[in-house]
Amino acid sequence: MTKNNYWVSPSDDGWKAKREGATRAAGVFETQKKAEDYARYILQNNGGGELITQSTHGPIRSKDTINNIDRCPPRDMEK
């Protein structure tokens, strides 16, 4: 089973958001924030996962667990 993790890392063209195990980046962005926002959006809509951000020099800067958004949450049945 493939993990649903996205890596945000620097590239020659800017910052790339790439799914773990993929050969190509899902997107390349001007700023790290835009790449993180895009990866977070994808993770929320695809069942959640881990967002891993690297610094400009390569080591991991942060990890964030993203949960999916329940568009139809169960109704509270208490009276």
pLDDT tens by residue, 18-73? 999 999 999 999 999 999 999 999 998 888 899 999 999 989 999 999 887 767 76
Structure tokens at 69: 């958004």
Contact, 15 vs 32, CB < 8 A?
yes
Whole-number pLDDT of residue 55: 93
Output the furthest CA–CA distance in the chain (Å, rounded).
58
Separation of alpha carbons 25 and 75, rounded Å: 39
Identify which of 20, 23, 58 has the alpha carbon closest to the alpha carbon of residue 42.
20
pTM score, whole prediction: 0.81
